[in-house]
Amino acid sequence: MSDVINDERIPNNVNLASDKKLQRALMQWQPKFLGWWREMGPQGFQEHDVFLRTAISVDHEGWAHFDYVKMPDYRWGIFLADPVAGRTIGFGDHLGQPVWTEVPGEHRNTLRRLIVTQGDTEPASVEQQRALGQSCPSLYDLRNLFQINVEEGRHLWAMAYLLHSHFGRDGREEADALLARRSGDADRPRILGAFNEPCTDWLSFFMFTFFTDRDGKFQLLALAESGFDPLSRTTRFMLTEEAHHMFVGETGITRIVRRTAELMKQNESEDVRPLGGIDLPTMQKYLNLWYSVSLDLFGGEVSSNAASFFADGLKGRAKEDTFSDHRALEGTYAIEMPEDGKFVRQDVALRNAMNEVLRDAYVQDCQRGVDKWNEVLRSAGIGYRLRLPSRRFHRRIGTYADIFTDPEGNLISREAFERQRDLWLPSADDQNYVKSLMAKPIFAPNEMANWISPPAHGIKGRPVDFEYVRRGEV
């Protein structure tokens, strides 16, 4: 099953050649995808040779294949994790029944919508990041950006495949629409909030790959539990790629923190701007922004949608098998609801709190990364600590969308929030400063921008100063 036929125009391990109709449909979608990639993919680097990892099969060997490729020649393909024999639905009202290999009619619309929402984020992130190459801190980082971009492109393929293979004509229309919406566009924006935020500097990029790609990890974990087996198998394979995106975010911020700590010592001051570094309070503001917009991606704290996804066996909890009760019909979840100027605890039926359960797992995972960053500060003898703001801070979706709080989560007035906004979120001045550090890209293999320290290792045994991206012949 996991053999990949690579001389096909669409590499795949789903025996695409046996389904001529589907193959034809996807071959018609492929040039549209490439058109989108050329228009909205990384700006100015389409003809460069990039040292990329390409999945040529789903087993470990094929997975670790590295070579120079021009991005438009990347072998975007369709890879599903192997089916698990005898797999049954692991949660909800259909607990224990065999998984579905076809879409159950009564769940068709809901499943399509989940797949479209997931699929929409993938090209959106490529669009958000398309200008970053022009301000890269090193060739190592430039290559990592492009690795992520092509893989998000492949994630789009994963969802387009499900739409084409299981949703007939409306699936094909949705797959086209995935190429038609544009991040940040006033008339046809991407579906979810965070994917319309500009991500035009590298501090934002590392925060995005740490916080927003991590939403991806948890949403994919929840979808990997799905009773719709093709969705489960697709998302399980996507998760293997996702790990690298979060690695880039986590180590990217670690490297900035390390450099800032060095400059703080050198300058004997917290203010490293005179030395061209990114000061910790500025990092905290970017963290506050990307964490809060990423928290929104989990949906409302109380959600009847989430309850039906769970009841119907469409979307579970991350690592469902670590829970003891897979029906979740009993028990409640305590949520602090804003009411008349204070927070009042309300016990919500567990199924209605599934978004919050997933968000809990996410918050914990984020905290682990922040602890690592703080460890760098601690061992440098610096007292400052980065921290996750309250999950009530700066929210636009859910229970806390219409209130204002400080980063500790205390209710404040709109005026008080507006007055202090620039202390908590990147101000125009902060953004200009961060961008000013990145005005010129660094393309010399042995150079690294001043505001970030070099990584501990290069890629696939190559040195850090390897020429990971080189100008093509043309």
Binding test (CB under 6 A) with ligand BYC, winner from 230, 300, 369, 407? 300
Stretch touching ligand BYC by CB under 6 A, among 208-216, 276-284, 376-384, 442-450: 208-216
Tokens of 243: 């790990």
HEC profile of 161-191: HHHHHHCHHHHHHHHHHHCCCCCCCCCCCCC
Edge-first strand order for the sheet with 65-70 is 65-70, 49-54, 469-470
Q: Of 89 and 248, which CB lies nearer to Fe ion in the complex structure?
A: 248
Does 215 bind ligand BYC (CB under 6 A)? Our answer is yes
CB of 438 to ligand BYC, least distance (A): 21
HEC profile of 106-146: HHHHHHHHHHHHHHHHHHHHHHHCCCHHHHCCCHHHHHHHH
Binding test (CB under 6 A) with ligand BYC, winner from 13, 23, 118, 144? 118
Tokens of 301: 């704290």
CB environment 89-98: b (16+ within 10 A), e (fewer) = bbbbebeeee
Q: Of 139 and 354, which CB lies nearer to ligand BYC in the complex structure?
A: 354
Q: Of 255 and 315, which CB lies nearer to ligand BYC in the complex structure?
A: 315
Q: Of 286 and 451, which CB lies nearer to ligand BYC in the complex structure?
A: 286
Q: Of 147 and 303, which CB lies nearer to ligand BYC in the complex structure?
A: 303
Stretch touching ligand BYC by CB under 6 A, among 77-85, 250-258, 297-305, 404-412: 297-305
Binding test (CB under 6 A) with ligand BYC, winner from 80, 158, 199, 297? 297
Going by C-alpha positions, the residue among 177, 219, 224, 172 that lies closest to residue 194 is: 219
Q: Of 194 and 257, which CB lies nearer to ligand BYC in the complex structure?
A: 194
Does 317 bind Fe ion (CB under 5 A)? Our answer is no
Q: Is 146 exposed, middle or buried (0-12, 13-18, 19+ CB in 10 A)?
A: buried
Binding test (CB under 6 A) with ligand BYC, winner from 296, 312, 320, 406? 296
Count of CA atoms in the C-beta half-sphere (13 A) of 131: 11
State the binding partner of 117 from ligand BYC, Fe ion, none, CB within 5 to 8 A by kind. ligand BYC
Binding test (CB under 6 A) with ligand BYC, winner from 397, 448, 459, 469? 397
Measured distance CA(231)–CA(395) in Å, rounded: 30
State the binding partner of 149 from Fe ion, ligand BYC, none, CB within 5 to 8 A by kind. none
H/E stretch holding 418: helix 414-424
Do 35 and 129 contact (CB within 8 A), yes or no?
A: no
Does 352 bind ligand BYC (CB under 6 A)? Our answer is no
Binding site for ligand BYC (CB under 6 A): 114, 117-118, 121-122, 125, 152, 192-193, 212-213, 215-216, 219, 296-300, 303, 305-306, 315, 355, 397
| Contact positions vs Fe ion (CB under 5 A) | 122, 152, 155, 213, 216, 242, 245
